[in-house]
């Protein structure tokens, strides 16, 4: 069950990336960020900001829809996944996600497609498009690590 909740808004892609960067600066090894939002809502742009905070060039970050999993090396490794084309928990397990839980930061796009594959302690970020450029970010903590992040953002 979600413990803490915070709602923030951005008005263009630059602000979306900056918000991701603010969040990324707070992440630590084992942090899991579950992104939920429609196609084109800004999940990958938000992840580019997280990457920048981790010392990863944002231009290196692309949606992992077809690769399913991309790993980027920075001050912490960024394990960037996409559940869009997956249907079962077993498919997530085959990706070896558990190996990254203690090592780096995990960002999962389309996390709501297989919620049973998500760890209990995570930060859920629901992104809504209010206009072509205006976005609402609803952050919900699930567990103590997610709660610490929401409290500090």
Within a domain: residue 83?
yes
* Residue 16 domain boundaries: 6-131+141-152
CA-based nearest residue to 145, from 18, 44, 29, 54: 29
CATH number of the domain at 81, please: 3.40.50.300
Give me the pLDDT at residue 96, please. 75
Query: For the segment 89-114, what is each residue's pLDDT rounded down to a tens digit?
Result: 888 788 777 776 778 999 999 999 98
pLDDT at 136 over 80: yes
CA-based nearest residue to 117, from 34, 44, 36: 34
d(CA 36, CA 128) in angstroms, rounded, equals 9
Number of domains in the chain: 1
Percent of the chain residues topping a pLDDT of 90: 67
CA-based nearest residue to 127, from 32, 14, 35, 48: 35
Within a domain: residue 136?
no
Global confidence as pTM: 0.92
Running DSSP on this structure, what letter comes out for residue 27?
Answer: -
- Distance from CA of residue 50 to its chain's centroid? 8
Within a domain: residue 1?
no
């Amino acid at each position: 069950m979600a413990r803490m909740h915070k709602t923030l808004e951005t008005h263009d892609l630059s602000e979306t990336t900056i918000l991701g960067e603010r969040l990324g600066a707070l992440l630590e090894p084992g942090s899991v960020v579950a992104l939920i939002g429609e196609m084109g809502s800004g999940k990958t742009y938000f992840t580019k900001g997280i990457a920048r905070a981790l010392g990863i060039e944002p231009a290196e970050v692309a949606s992992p829809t077809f690769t399913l999993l991309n790993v980027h090396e920075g001050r912490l490794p960024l394990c960037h996944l996409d559940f869009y084309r997956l249907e079962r928990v077993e498919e997530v397990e085959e990706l070896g996600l558990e190996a990254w839980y203690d090592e780096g930061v995990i960002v999962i796009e389309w996390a709501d497609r297989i919620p049973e594959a998500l760890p209990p302690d995570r930060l859920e970020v629901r992104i809504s498009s209010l206009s072509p450029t205006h976005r609402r970010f609803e952050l919900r903590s699930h567990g103590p690590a997610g709660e610490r992040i929401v409290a500090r953002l």
